[in-house]
Amino acid sequence: MTRKSDPIKKLTPEEKENVTKTLRVCVTGAAGQIGYAFLPLISNGSVFGPHVKIQLRLLDIPAAVKALEGLSMELHDGAYPLLEDVAFGSDPEEMFKDCDVVVFIGGFPRKQGMERKELLSINGNIFKTQGKALDKVAKKTVKCLVVANPANTNCLILQQNAPSIPKENFTCLTRLDHNRAVSQLWKKTNMPLYSIKNVIIWGNHSSTQYPDVNHGTIAEKPIKKVVEDEEWLKGAFITKIQKRGAEIIEYRGSSSVFSAANAIKDHLRDWYHGTEPGTWVSMGVVSDGSYGVPKGLVFSFPCICKKHFEYEIVQGLHIDPFSQEKINITTKELEEERDEAFAEEKKPQEAAAGEQKE
Ligand code: NAI
């Protein structure tokens, strides 16, 4: 389908720039749960703003193509003014062609009794194939967000298989963990959510991740001073965030869906539009060696985003021995996953991996 957007008046220079902009975005695993919650957000302007036009590409496995067709019908029926074009299919090369952004939600779910190694191997093959397809047909400027678990390792495999695309263009989702940390602090202090800034999720999107409040503020005061409960911050708070995914599964019977879709929206929005001055967010990115994390590991760091998909890892934060120990644990897990994922191949010089959480 092809549609023309409505004319828009009285725009700021930045809005004017966006009016002329169209992003081609592919969502993999679009027929799944998170896909279903995310597609309305990208179509209604919540992700890239109310002026950037979107061409959607929906990818899933062949058995889900009929469901993709149904989704395409619903997207038509949504009458979203920003949605220029929708195509769907099961061939990654067809769907990734000329993409500006790809959101990798599709993957094989962890089944009961399945070994982590087995999951890594199945998803590793999916991301290997998709990395090669991306390398071949996507724009060299394509920006990637990996959601499917194990998200950090899948992102690493993807990046390693798409060598013609800059490694900075590959990220994985730890924003849900970041949002969970903010929300737990809000529950504990009852301070406005928007006043809680600069928490950090370090490492893997798994139960070894380290939610760190040492550099964060609530209403511009250090989090520790506002919370005044060191025992909680160093104990129950950390465990809560690390195990929140499992808790959701226990209560809901399946993993997080709309909170995950919302976190994808937050990640992409901030990466595209930039973080608020003086604030950072958590993103899984390829390590440049910051904070002693081995180069090449896909690791969650505090990141400041500038406009149009530029970001930098926040530098110079003091890491105390408690935090260092936690960062070491999650680093070790990622190194182990990297080694498992690449065991049958020549190990890459710079790489990494992670424990499935949800
Ligand atoms: P789902 O099972 O409902 O959907 C997954 C979709 O991926 C299915 O439609 C399936 O057919 C598709 N798929 C499988 N192999 C594919 C392939 N080779 N190419 C394209 N599509 C393929 O799962 P749901 O709930 O949407 O979750 C998706 C992923 O997101 C899971 O791996 C889950 O663990 C992960 N997740 C990650 C979070 C994070 O914070 N990083 C949070 C919540 C979930």
Q: What is the pLDDT of residues 167-215, one digit of tens each?
A: 999 999 999 999 999 999 999 999 999 999 999 999 999 999 999 999 9
Report the mean per-residue pLDDT for the chain. 92
CA distance 330 to 333: 5
What average pLDDT does the segment 8-15 reach? 66
Q: Which residue, 155, 90, 92, is CA-closest to 120? A: 155
CA dihedral 238, 240, 246, 252 (to 10 degrees): -160
Query: Dihedrals φ, ψ of 188, to 5°?
Result: -70, -40
* Closest approach atom of ligand 1 to CA 151: 41
| Residue 161, number of CB atoms within 10 A of its CB | 18
The answer to whether domain 18-172 and domain 175-335 are alike in fold is no
Q: Tokens at residue 140, please?
A: 């060299």
- CATH code for residues 18-172: 3.40.50.720
Q: Where are the alpha helices (DSSP H) in the chain?
A: 13-19, 33-43, 65-77, 92-96, 116-137, 151-160, 175-189, 223-227, 230-234, 236-252, 258-273, 321-341
Angle in degrees, 0-180, between the axes of helices 151-160 and 116-137, rounded to the nearest 10: 40
Q: Which pLDDT belongs to residue 20?
A: 75
What average pLDDT does the segment 325-348 reach? 87
Q: Given the DSSP bridges, would you call strands 221-222 and 217-218 parallel, antiparallel or unpaired?
A: antiparallel
Q: How far apart are the first and last CA of the chain?
A: 35
Residue nearest to atom 9 of ligand 1 (CA): 32
Q: Which residues of 285-304 are buried (b: 16+ CB within 10 A; e: fewer)?
A: bbbeebbebeebbbbbbbbb
Residue to mutate (ligand 1; options 27, 105, 282; most atoms within 8 A of CB): 105
Q: Which pLDDT belongs to residue 353?
A: 43
* Closest approach atom of ligand 1 to CA 149: 32
Q: Which residue, 49, 352, 328, is CA-closest to 172? A: 352
Confidence band for 351, pLDDT divided at 50, 70 and 90: very low
Every domain of the chain and the residues it spans: 18-172, 175-335
Q: Tokens at residue 3, please?
A: 């549609």
Beta carbon of 249 within 6 Å of any ligand 1 atom: no
Looking at domain 175-335, its CATH class is: alpha beta
Q: What DSSP element (H or E) covers 342?
A: none
Among residues 51, 178, 205, 215, the one annotated as catalytic is 205
Q: Tokens at residue 235, please?
A: 């104990």
Query: What's 278's DSSP letter?
Result: T
Q: Which pLDDT belongs to residue 349?
A: 47
Query: Dihedrals φ, ψ of 174, to 5°?
Result: -125, 10
Sign of the alpha-carbon torsion through 335, 336, 341, 347 = positive
Question: Ligand 1 center to residue 148 CA distance, Å?
Answer: 5
Beta carbon of 107 within 6 Å of any ligand 1 atom: yes
What average pLDDT does the segment 121-134 reach? 95
Q: Tokens at residue 77, please?
A: 């029926």
Question: Ligand 1 center to residue 53 CA distance, Å?
Answer: 25
CA distance 45 to 54: 9
Give per-residue pLDDT as tens, 161-172. 999 999 999 999
Type of residue numbered 329: I
Confidence band for 254, pLDDT divided at 50, 70 and 90: confident
Q: Which pLDDT belongs to residue 114?
A: 66
This prediction's pTM: 0.93
Q: Which residues are bridge partners to 57 per DSSP?
A: 26, 87
| Residue 343, number of CB atoms within 10 A of its CB | 12
Phi-psi region of 250 (alpha: psi -120 to 50; beta: other; left: phi over 0): alpha
* Closest approach atom of ligand 1 to CA 177: 40
Beta carbon of 241 within 6 Å of any ligand 1 atom: no
- Calculate the CA 322 to chain-centre distance: 27
Question: Ligand 1 center to residue 324 CA distance, Å?
Answer: 32
Give the CB-side neighbour count of residue 306, counting CA atoms within 13 A.
5
Beta carbon of 207 within 6 Å of any ligand 1 atom: no
Give per-residue pLDDT as tens, 224-239. 999 999 999 999 999 9
Range from 45-49, 110-114, 254-258, 339-343 carrying the lowest mean pLDDT? 110-114
Q: Is 58 helix (H, G, I), strand (E, B) or coil?
A: strand
Q: Which pLDDT belongs to residue 309?
A: 95
- 354 pLDDT above the threshold of 50: no
Q: Is 279 helix (H, G, I), strand (E, B) or coil?
A: coil
Query: What's 203's DSSP letter?
Result: B
Look up 205 and say whether it is catalytic.
yes
Q: Which pLDDT belongs to residue 307?
A: 85
Query: Dihedrals φ, ψ of 100, to 5°?
Result: -95, -30
